[in-house]
Amino acid sequence: MTVKDRVAIVTGAARGIGRAIALRLARGGARLALADLLEEPLAETVELCTEAGAAEARSYQLDVADEQQVEATVDRVAEEFGALDILVNNAGITRDDLLMRMETQAWDVVLNVNLKGTFLMTRAASRHMVRARRGRIVNLASVSGLVGNPGQANYSASKAGVVGLTKTTARELAARNITANAVAPGFIDTDMTAVLSEAVKEKAKAAIPLRRMGRPEDVAEAVAFFASDEAEYVTGQVIAVDGGMVM
């Protein structure tokens, strides 16, 4: 899949799915602007991407929910790299609790990072893409945003919002040769799921037709396709990478 020398911003790139996406794009020879709040693991991702074959890789400390930071960082990336071809909105958090017990702060922070952050990054990046008349936007949704999940009212709502935002973005920007698609991961083996008990993991795997948790690399492959030249006629789509869990 062709991403060679394309300039890509990947948010939440310090670890987990974000790191896997960055490494997949690096192996394709992309030029990477990697963003996260976590400085040390982000620096490690940059080093790994350089070793994996990235044409260029730089780190940017960024809170995607901060409008001023987002605007400044996206403009800086476009200036330093001389282009902006791909945006991967991967940054996301959870603050799980049952609906009746959920604190308003837990609702707000999840919606701010997962949904508002995706909106802010998309708005800032699209301005550069519109001028270039080309771009790829790939958003990370979740199967929780497709079917809901007990204990995740905030997360499910934020990811359902990402799906709606993706489709609207696709419709608004198609005339400028900019595509927008989303990948909805299922039960993926990351730091986020590592804290779950073995009993919970086994119950989850029993509900997955392929009978295993996904790997970050599984998600990264789908993202890389949407970001590639080969996906130029695909827009407004959501693909679940979930082992068949919500089919």
Q: What is the DSSP letter of 229?
A: G
Contact 162, 144 (CB under 8 A): no
pLDDT for 208 equals: 94
C-alpha distances in Å from residue 119, one per residue of 88, 161, 218, 242? 12, 10, 25, 25
Distance CA 213, CA 60 (A): 31
User: Which residues pair with residue 57 across a beta bridge?
Assistant: 32
Distance CA 94, CA 84 (A): 29
pLDDT for 19 equals: 98
| Cβ-Cβ contacts under 8 Å for 233 (sequence gap 6 or more) | none
* pTM beyond cutoff 0.85: yes
Q: What is the pLDDT of residues 223-239, one digit of tens each?
A: 999 999 999 999 999 99
Catalytic residue of the set 107, 155, 187, 226: 155
Q: How many CB atoms lie within 10 A of CB 74?
A: 26
Distance CA 160, CA 143 (A): 9
Ranges of residues in the chain with a pLDDT under 50 are: none
Q: Which two tokens stand for residue 212?
A: 């295993």
pLDDT for 170 equals: 98
pLDDT for 91 equals: 98
pLDDT for 203 equals: 82
pLDDT for 115 equals: 98
Q: Which two tokens stand for residue 164?
A: 């709606």
Burial of 188 (0-12, 13-18, 19+ CB in 10 A): buried
pLDDT for 191 equals: 75
pLDDT for 165 equals: 98
Active site residue 155: yes
